[in-house]
A and B are shown apart, each in its own frame.
Chain A
Amino acid sequence: MSERNVWIFIEQDGGKLADISLELLAKGQELAQTLGSQVWALLCGFEVGELAESLIQHGADHVLVVDHPELEIYRTLPYTRVAADLLRERQPYIFLVGASPVGRDLAPRIASAVKAGLTADCTDLQIGDYTVKKDNVVYKDLLYQIRPAFGGNIIATIVNPKTRPQMATVREGVMRRREPDLTRQGSIENITPVFQPQDFALQVLSREMREPTVRLKDSPVIVAGGAGVESQSEFDLIRELANVIGGEVGASRAAVDAGYISREHQIGQTGTTVRPRLYIAAGISGAIQHRAGMDKSNKIIAINTDPNAPIFQVAHYKIVGDLGEVLPLLIRALRERVK
């Protein structure tokens, strides 16, 4: 296709747009500008037409609205039907989906249906060329799908030279969304879906979703604990420090696995990606899995007993010491300052 459009799957729940979809619209605009093409948003749901304008304001040039009662609650098969049919018909160049629970359920299903290559959990996307030396072929302007691999120990750039669309899921919180531009113009197209009986093999009997109680992503200050935390009472020091400076509590996988705190607080490759103004890492060695989720923080203070801990290599302030001793000092110093 000469159009080389960039499609974004828009995730919404009960008419509320997912942050990741808005982040993808912004990134999509960047990619489309490089390619000289357009960003199309694929919006599925029931009575969601009103959201189309907002998608245009956030970067969509064209919105495909698929509005149908069967699409009210997300289910894999009806959504796959809609997306796969449209992808086959319109042949976009790139199709991006959020790496959310919904996106990670849907994207592989669609990729399998349309036989497209798919890369999971990308943390960056770029446009670039790919040369196959063996065949002496150059593929121009492919989507570089950049993701941590092998438990986060390496960063891989993946390409889909031959299959279209080039599909990727993208982690929430890694790309920045744009401020809505109320004057932005775009077009809206309504699509009538055609389902098959087998699309309704699964029924949702009940659903209980709660609002996140932890807003790690939006918190300007995060205090996080890791494997160096040796007890629940030591972890309470992390909470106390977070309280004193008005921050949110984070954790590495080790601290979550140890049961000190719930998985919602996990930061890193398999948790939340954050970029606060201040990140205090206490007893976190800084395995790449963790750093992948926090290394873009503005200022990083690291506390660790091991002077060679990798976390110190991304830290702006290094404190070599035992967190059981250092944190009370920090808490006291901060309390005194507040007084």
Chain B
Amino acid sequence: MPPARPYHSIVLIKQVPDTRNVTGDVMTPDGTMNRSALPAIFNPEDLNALEMALDFKDRYGGTVTVMSMGPLQAAEVLRDSLCRGADQVILLSDRKFAGADTQATSYTLKCAIDKLGEYDLVFCGRQAIDGDTAQVGPQIAEKLNIPQITYAESIIEADEGDIVVLRAFDLGTELVKCTLPCLLTVVDSANQPRPASARKRIEYKLAAIPAEYPKLLKKWPEFGSEEVLENYLAERNLMITVWSAADLNADESQLGLGGSPTQVHKVSYVVLETSESKDIPATPEAFRH
């Protein structure tokens, strides 16, 4: 294998409500949901995508940039990404992005990738647990006009212009070779994501977006003003970049709810069927019949 060049990777992540642990507090008696009772977490397969990108960087050198589209609270998963080893993180946040379906989301992320410039690989998790659609990755790849490798299990090797990747399905595997740049969606069996490093946790404790400055000032009043704080963060490379719609040079008609071809006609909370049912006591006698 030739000593390959350093590669520039972009990882796209999402902060999601932890829909896998819906408990009694979340579902109200009338069947509606109390979403705020769900903790916001790093989408699990996006962690696998980040790990694959970091491992790729460990092997070949290069950079890992992590981007997330979401509300300002999503700065949390970006900070987490820094602590796990990302070089740079960018938050895409704007009211104009809100209500986006997968088409509008992929358009927004595509614009952000274009703005970032040169890249070799884009990594996404296979799907996010709040929507389970697995659509955004392929839709971005099409908009970037690059090939996609879904269900990526591992990167076998890379050279100047190609990458060899193993894809994993429930019923088999496929080994593919693909030109760069390309987009990968990563499955959860791909790897065991590394934890955040303790050293980096300290290093990035203050990493913040401007909206978080008041909170930081409250905790560390010695900074005195947002300006002093910002200078301090800037000197230490701790400012988390936030891009708005205006920063992306995007066609605003394709963003957010207005740019979404799909619309929600109706939402029904799941009502359990009441069927005729029979209780059976858990005794040997009862089962004899």
Q: Using CB atoms and an 8 Å cutoff, list the residues of chain A in contact with chain B.
A: 76-77, 80, 101, 104-109, 111-113, 115-121, 130, 144-145, 148-163, 198, 201-212, 253, 263-264, 269-270, 287-288, 291, 295, 303, 310, 312-322, 325-326, 329-330, 332-333, 336
Q: Does A330 contact B287, Cβ atoms closer than 8 Å?
A: yes
Per-residue CB contact flags for chain B residues 169-181 toward chain A (1 = under 8 Å, else 0) read 1111111111100
Known: A208-B174, A318-B278. 9 other contacts (CB 8 A): A115-B103, A115-B261, A153-B33, A156-B267, A160-B261, A314-B275, A315-B277, A316-B277, A332-B287
Q: List 20 A-B contacts (CB under 8 A).
A: A104-B134, A106-B138, A108-B142, A111-B139, A120-B132, A144-B265, A156-B264, A201-B147, A202-B179, A203-B176, A203-B178, A204-B175, A207-B173, A209-B169, A212-B171, A269-B132, A291-B272, A319-B281, A329-B282, A333-B288
Residues of B within 8 A of A204 (CB): 174-176
Task: Mark contacts of B20-42 with chain A using CB atoms, 8 A cut-off: 1 yes-contact digit, 0 otherwise.
Answer: 10100011000001000000000
Q: Which 10 A-B pairs have the closest CB atoms?
A: A151-B19, A117-B261, A321-B282, A209-B172, A313-B272, A112-B142, A333-B287, A120-B133, A108-B135, A117-B262
Given A115-B103, A151-B20, A157-B265, verify A318-B171 contact (CB < 8 Å): no
Contact A155 B280 (CB under 8 A): no
Complex Cα gap A207–B214 (Å):
55
Closest to A199 in B: B147
- What residues of chain A lie closer than 8 Å to B270, measured between beta carbons? 148, 152-155, 288, 291
Q: Is the CB of A329 within 8 A of B134?
A: no
B63 lies within 8 A of chain A by Cβ: no
Contact residues in B for A155 (Cβ distance below 8 Å): 267-270
Please determine whether A316 and B278 come into contact, CB atoms closer than 8 angstroms. yes
Tell me whether A109 and B142 are in contact in the complex, defined as CB-CB below 8 angstroms, given that A204-B176, A288-B270 are known contacts: yes
Q: Choose from A160, A211, A287 the contact partner of B22 (Cβ within 8 Å).
A: A287
Chain B contacts of A269 at CB under 8 A? 132
Judged by a CB distance under 8 angstroms, whether B86 is at the interface is no
Q: Are B171 and A209 neighbours in the complex by a CB distance under 8 Å?
A: yes
**Is residue B108 contacting chain A, with contact meaning CB distance below 8 A?**
no
Contact A150 B171 (CB under 8 A): no
**Which residue of chain A has the shortest Cβ distance to B130 in the bound complex?**
A150
A154 touches B269 (CB 8 A): yes
Q: How distant is the Cα of A318 from the Cα of B263 in the complex, in angstroms?
A: 40
B102 → chain A closest CB, angstroms: 7
Contacts of B262 in A (CB 8 A): 117-119, 145, 158-160
- Chain B residues in 8 Å Cβ range of A109: 138-139, 141-142, 148
A257 to chain B, nearest CB (A): 9
User: B19, A153: Cβ atoms under 8 Å?
Assistant: yes
Using a CB-CB cutoff of 8 Å, which residues 253-289 of chain B contact chain A? 260-270, 272-284, 287-288
Chain B residue with the shortest CB-CB distance to A325: B282
In the complex, A150 Cα to B133 Cα: how many Å?
A: 11
Q: B residues near A, CB below 8 A? A: 17, 19-20, 22, 26-27, 33, 101-103, 106, 129-143, 145-151, 164, 169-179, 182, 260-270, 272-284, 287-288
A120-B135, A315-B277 in contact; A112/B171 too (CB < 8 A)? no
Q: Which of B131, B142, B151 lies in contact with A149, CB distance below 8 A?
A: B131
The CA of A264 and the CA of B19, in the complex, are separated in Å by 22
A227 vs B8: C-alpha distance when bound (angstroms): 42
List A contacts of B148 (CB < 8 A): 76, 105, 109
Q: Are A207 and B174 in contact (CB under 8 A)?
A: yes
Q: In the complex the two chains form, is B27's CB within 8 Å of A156's CB?
A: no
- Residues in B neighbouring A115, C-beta threshold 8 A: 103, 261
Q: For A148, list chain B residues within 8 Å (CB).
A: 270
Q: Complex Cα distance A211/B172, Å? A: 9
**Nearest opposing residue in chain A for B33, CB measure:** A153
Closest to B27 in A: A153
Whether A154 pairs with B268 at a CB distance below 8 angstroms is: yes
Closest to B133 in A: A120
Q: Report Cα–Cα, A263/B188, bound state, in Å.
A: 12
Contacts of A316 in B (CB 8 A): 275-278
Known: A113-B142, A118-B102, A157-B264. A295 touches B273 (CB 8 A): yes
B170: chain A residues at CB < 8 Å are: 101, 263-264
Chain A hits for B283, CB < 8 A: 329
